[in-house]
């Protein structure tokens, strides 16, 4: 059985973290924080925007701001040639 997240990364998805600030309509002076994380495609973020659309429709809270961080965890590695020799005794 293969992990869904690993398969998504092989298809080009990267780990996306969204910091969502919101307030409840019954307490507008209290700003709250929700952290969401999933694999998504930058720069369009279809998975995140689908979640935010669900939030607007189903959750009784108003969005204040959303901060997004994204990184590809699987990518070609960087390497450099090293001229030298290590002897092990």
* Domain chopping of the chain, boundaries: 4-71
CATH number belonging to domain 4-71: 3.10.20
- The whole-number pLDDT of residue 10 equals 83
Tell whether the model's pLDDT for residue 1 goes beyond 60. Answer: no
> DSSP H helical segments within 1-89, as ranges?
4-10, 46-58
Classify 47 as helix, strand or coil. Answer: helix
* Chain centre to alpha carbon of residue 58: 22
- The whole-number pLDDT of residue 77 equals 66
- The whole-number pLDDT of residue 79 equals 65
- The whole-number pLDDT of residue 66 equals 95
Tell whether the model's pLDDT for residue 59 goes beyond 70. Answer: yes
């Amino acid at each position: 059985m293969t992990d869904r997240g690993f398969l998504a990364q092989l298809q080009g998805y990267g780990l996306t973290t969204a910091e969502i600030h919101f307030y409840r309509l019954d307490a507008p002076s209290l700003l709250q924080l929700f952290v969401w994380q999933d694999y998504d495609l930058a720069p369009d973020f279809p998975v995140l925007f689908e979640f935010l659309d669900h939030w607007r429709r189903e959750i009784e809270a108003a969005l204040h701001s959303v901060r997004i961080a994204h990184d590809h965890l699987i990518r070609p590695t960087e390497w450099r040639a090293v001229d030298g020799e290590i002897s092990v005794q």
